[in-house]
Amino acid sequence: EPEVTQTPSHQVTQMGQEVILHCVPISNHLYFYWYRQILGQKVEFLVSFYNNEISEKSEIFDDQFSVERPDGSNFTLKIRSTKLEDSAMYFCASSDDLAKNIQYFGAGTRLSVL
Amino acid sequence: TQLLEQSPQFLSIQEGENLTVYCNSSSVFSSLQWYRQEPGEGPVLLVTVVTGGEVKKLKRLTFQFGDARKDSSLHITAAQPGDTGLYLCAGAVAQGAQKLVFGQGTRLTINP
């Protein structure tokens, strides 16, 4: 069964460093999303991406965040200068249509900022 | 800002009992999805309900979408220890890219 793949599973970084989280969405999907989940809290929407551009972003998704689809398969989330409060699980999701908007999630990347 | 209130937050019952988890909102959603999440993993889709009043069954799990598409419930019949886990509801916002708004989750424990 097709699945969303995220790498790495765990990323440890120093405060102020840049990190790039990688996702390979399901191959025929067109809509891509990043969510995050701080330990013990709700899953929160960060950004959605369609047709090579951001379609919506949350207040969390400030200038330190960016997304890119560098080729036909990868979808990346970059945090330019990490802060302690960026420590969380980051989930990538993809969907093939908006009518039902069934979003399939990857296993996540645990980001630990020290 | 759309909010989805999920209750109860924790539920511990004996094997064989029935239970219901609720998700409520003042907002209308275009669809509502139920996920199950294991520790350290991503949400795994259980079901999507799209039409107001829709009922879907998945073995012993019954999912219902409210007539006004603002609320949903998950009912488990004759719960088993294998049902233990974190259950999440998520509503798809009916505009734009239809981001998902998640409830806070229900941590379910089924005791043998």
Chain mean position to CA B31: 12
Given a cut of 80, whether residue A98 has pLDDT beyond it is: no
Task: Tell me the two tokens of residue A92.
Answer: 């990538």
Which CATH number do you get for residue B43? Answer: 2.60.40.10
| B80 φ/ψ angles, rounded to the nearest 5 degrees | -125, 155
Cβ–Cβ < 8 Å for A104, A23: no
Q: What is the Cα–Cα distance from A101 to A99, expressed in whole angstroms? A: 6
Q: Is B86 on the interface with A (CB under 8 A)?
A: no
Q: Per-residue pLDDT tens for A26-49? A: 998 989 999 999 998 999 999 999
Q: Per-residue pLDDT tens for B17-72? A: 999 999 999 999 999 999 999 988 899 999 999 999 999 999 999 999 999 999 99
- With cut-offs at 50, 70 and 90, classify the pLDDT of residue A71: confident
The structural domains of chain A, ordered by start, are 5-100 (2.60.40.10)
- With cut-offs at 50, 70 and 90, classify the pLDDT of residue B102: very high
Given a cut of 80, whether residue B1 has pLDDT beyond it is: no
Task: Tell me the two tokens of residue B11.
Answer: 């539920």
Domain extent at residue B58: 5-111
Q: Is B6 on the interface with A (CB under 8 A)?
A: no
Residue B97 CB neighbour total at 10 angstroms: 21
Given a cut of 80, whether residue A53 has pLDDT beyond it is: yes
A56 to chain B: closest CA residue: B97
Q: Is B98 on the interface with A (CB under 8 A)?
A: yes
- With cut-offs at 50, 70 and 90, classify the pLDDT of residue B89: very high
Chain mean position to CA A102: 17
Contact A48 B33 (CB under 8 A): no
Given a cut of 90, whether residue B8 has pLDDT beyond it is: yes
Report percent pLDDT > 90 for chain A.
82
Residues with Cβ within 8 Å of residue B55, at least 6 apart in sequence? B62, B63, B64, B65
Residue A1 CB neighbour total at 10 angstroms: 4
Q: What is the Cα–Cα distance from B19 to B98, expressed in whole angstroms? A: 30
- Contact residues on chain A for B89, CB-CB shorter than 8 A: none
Dihedral sign from CA coordinates of A108, A100, B4, B45? negative
Q: Is A25 on the interface with B (CB under 8 A)?
A: no
Number of domains observed in the structure of chain B: 1
Which of A52-66, A86-100, B63-77 bottoms out in mean pLDDT, i.e. has the lowest? A86-100
Q: What is the Cα–Cα distance from A101 to A97, expressed in whole angstroms? A: 6
